[in-house]
Amino acid sequence: MIFIRYESFRVYLRMYPVTSGIIALNIAYFIIVALSGSTTDGYHVYEFGSFYTDADDPFSLDQPWRYVTSMFMHAGLMHLLFNMFSLLVFAPPLEHLLRKVRYGVFYLLCGILANAFSALLALILGEPGVHAVGASGAIYGVYGAFLYIALFRKPWLDEGSRKTVYSILIFGLIYSVITPQISLWGHVGGGLAGFLLYSSFDRAMVRRKRIR
């Protein structure tokens, strides 16, 4: 089972520096936001960079930084802890596979595309807009990458790891549907982004191996 972490704290930091840095940034920014107000207050988190769209700016193009800042914000301590636990457990094997720089780019793109997808669906469905925070779009990107691996690179994952990937995605999407305050389309968008991005990375890595 590749999702069981055996490393000590020091070894974890050395082996997975990008994941460790992402977790640290999420915790630090949560503390900064919490020290100046409530992390569940809509206006307060808006001031600190939550992802926000409305009818006048359906894709937040006037404030594009929100695509990134919102990925490091969380609405309450439990939201932060749940997402950081998910990163802590599931992201390291992907960082190992993609290597540091490629994995960092992958993570950021998944979060950005998750926000863009939620904005697009809000526009298509005629919803008033999006107001979202959290790392879950990027985390679902990690899940999407492992779904690709589970389907098309089966020898890379043991049976228990494959079942874990399927279970997380199934139950995660069900939970996203039945819980109103969770961004279903952000999760779906992140998962699709991760699946497609990892597919492109995988094909590129295969081509390089053939050339060698």
Query: pLDDT tens digits for 133-177?
Result: 999 999 999 999 999 999 999 889 999 999 999 999 999 989 888
- Bridge partners (DSSP) listed for residue 52: 131
136 catalytic per annotation: yes
- pLDDT band at residue 204 using 50, 70 and 90 as cut-offs: confident
Q: What is the pTM of this model?
A: 0.93
Alpha-carbon distance values, 143 to 54, 94, 138 (Å): 29, 10, 9
Catalytic residue among 70, 79, 183, 187: 187
Contact 63, 91 (CB under 8 A): no
Catalytic residue among 20, 86, 136, 183: 136
Domain limits, the chain: 9-211
Between 3.30.565.10, 3.40.228.10, 3.30.1490.20, 1.20.1540.10, what CATH number should domain 9-211 receive?
A: 1.20.1540.10
